[in-house]
Structure 1
Amino acid sequence: MSPLSILYKLVMQLRNHLYDIEHKAVFRFDTKVISVGNLSMGGTGKTPFVEYILRFLIEKGYSNQLATLSRGYGRKTKGFRIANDKDNPKTIGDEPFQIYQKFKNDAAVSVGEDRVLAIPSIIYEHPKNEIIVLDDAYQHRSVKPNFSVLLTDYNSLFYEDYVLPSGTLRESRKGAQRADVVVVTKCPIDLGKTEQEKIQESIKKYSDKDVFFTTVKYEKTVATQADREARRKIILVTGIAQAQKFKEYLIDQDFDIIKHFNFADHHNFTLKEIGEIEMIANDLDADIITTEKDWVRIISIPEINDSFQNKLFYIPIMVQFLDDEKSFHHILEDSIIRT
Structure 2
Amino acid sequence: MLSDLKKLTATIFYIWPMFLRVILLSPFALIYKVVLHLRHGMFNMGVLKSKDMGHKLLKVGNLALGGSGKTPFVEYLIRVFGDEFEMGVVSRGYGRENDNLKNVTVDDTAEEVGDEPLQIKRKFPIIPVFLKGDRCAAISALRHSHGSNEVIVLDDALQHRKLMNGLNILLSSYERPFYKDFLFPSGKLRDLRSRAYSSDLIIITKSPTILDLQEETRMRKSLAKYNKPVFFTSIKYTRPQHIFSQKILENKVNEHAILVTGIASSQGMKKDILHNAKDWTYFDFGDHHSYSEKDIQKIIEKYGSINVDTVIFTTEKDAQRLTRGRHVHLLKELPIYAIGIEVQFLKEEEKFKNAIRNYVRTNSSFS
Match for residue 328 of structure 1 among 334, 352, 358: 352
Question: What residue is the counterpart of 1:20 in the other structure?
Answer: 44
Residue 87 of structure 1 aligns to a residue whose secondary structure is coil
User: Runs of at least 4 residues of structure 1 off by over 4 A?
Assistant: none
Match for residue 151 of structure 1 among 171, 177, 180: 171
Q: Does 1:208 align with 2:227?
A: yes
Which one-letter code corresponds to 1:267 in the other structure? H
CA contact (8 A) 2:33 2:192 kept: yes
In structure 2, relative to structure 1, the CA distance for the partners of 1:8 and 1:262 (3 Å cut) is same
Query: What is the CA–CA distance in structure 2 between the aligned matches of 1:292 and 1:85, rounded to whole Å?
Result: 14
Query: What is the CA–CA distance in structure 2 between the aligned matches of 1:85 and 1:49, rounded to whole Å?
Result: 20
In structure 2, relative to structure 1, the CA distance for the partners of 1:110 and 1:258 (3 Å cut) is same
Q: Does 1:74 align with 2:95?
A: yes
CA contact (8 A) 1:180 1:210 kept: yes
After superposition, the C-alpha distances for 1:148-202 in whole angstroms (9 at most, x for unaligned) are 1000111111111111222121222111000000001111111122211110111
After superposition, the C-alpha distances for 1:294-326 in whole angstroms (9 at most, x for unaligned) are 111101224412764441111111001110000
CA contact (8 A) 1:31 1:129 kept: no
Q: Does 1:199 align with 2:219?
A: yes
Query: What is the CA–CA distance in structure 2 between the aligned matches of 1:191 and 1:78, rounded to whole Å?
Result: 41
Query: What is the CA–CA distance in structure 2 between the aligned matches of 1:143 and 1:158, rounded to whole Å?
Result: 23
Match for residue 217 of structure 1 among 228, 236, 239: 236
Query: What is the CA–CA distance in structure 1 between the aligned matches of 2:44 and 2:351, rounded to whole Å?
Result: 28
Alignment of 1:54-93 (within 5 A): 54-60=78-84, 62=85, 65-93=86-114
Alignment of 1:146-295 (within 5 A): 146-205=166-225, 207-224=226-243, 225=245, 229=250, 232=254, 233-252=256-275, 254-284=276-306, 285=308, 286-295=310-319
Residue 231 (structure 1) shift = 5.9
Alpha-carbon RMSD across the aligned residues, in angstroms, is 1.9
Q: Does 1:5 align with 2:24?
A: no
Query: What is the CA–CA distance in structure 1 between the aligned matches of 2:178 and 2:331, rounded to whole Å?
Result: 44
Residue 272 of structure 1 aligns to a residue whose secondary structure is helix
In structure 2, relative to structure 1, the CA distance for the partners of 1:40 and 1:227 (3 Å cut) is closer
Question: What residue is the counterpart of 1:312 in the other structure?
Answer: 336
In structure 2, relative to structure 1, the CA distance for the partners of 1:78 and 1:145 (3 Å cut) is same
Query: Which consecutive residues of structure 1, in runs of 5 or more, have no partner in the other structure?
Result: none
Residue 278 of structure 1 aligns to a residue whose secondary structure is helix
Which one-letter code corresponds to 2:107 in the other structure? K
Which one-letter code corresponds to 1:69 in the other structure? V
Sequence identity (%):
35
Residue 274 (structure 1) shift = 1.5
Q: Does 1:131 align with 2:151?
A: yes
Number of corresponding residues: 333
Query: What is the CA–CA distance in structure 2 between the aligned matches of 1:276 and 1:231, rounded to whole Å?
Result: 23
In structure 2, relative to structure 1, the CA distance for the partners of 1:138 and 1:257 (3 Å cut) is farther
Query: What is the CA–CA distance in structure 1 between the aligned matches of 2:300 and 2:31, rounded to whole Å?
Result: 49
Query: What is the CA–CA distance in structure 1 between the aligned matches of 2:152 and 2:248, rounded to whole Å?
Result: 38
Which one-letter code corresponds to 2:238 in the other structure? E
Query: Which consecutive residues of structure 2, in runs of 5 or more, have no partner in the other structure?
Result: 1-21
In structure 2, relative to structure 1, the CA distance for the partners of 1:21 and 1:309 (3 Å cut) is farther
Residue 13 (structure 1) shift = 1.9
TM-score, reference length from structure 1: 0.92
Residue 59 of structure 1 aligns to a residue whose secondary structure is coil
After superposition, the C-alpha distances for 1:97-145 in whole angstroms (9 at most, x for unaligned) are 110110112x101211111222111111222551111111111011023
Which one-letter code corresponds to 2:214 in the other structure? T
Residue 128 of structure 2 aligns to a residue whose secondary structure is strand
Match for residue 67 of structure 2 among 29, 33, 43: 43
Query: What is the CA–CA distance in structure 1 between the aligned matches of 2:149 and 2:322, rounded to whole Å?
Result: 32
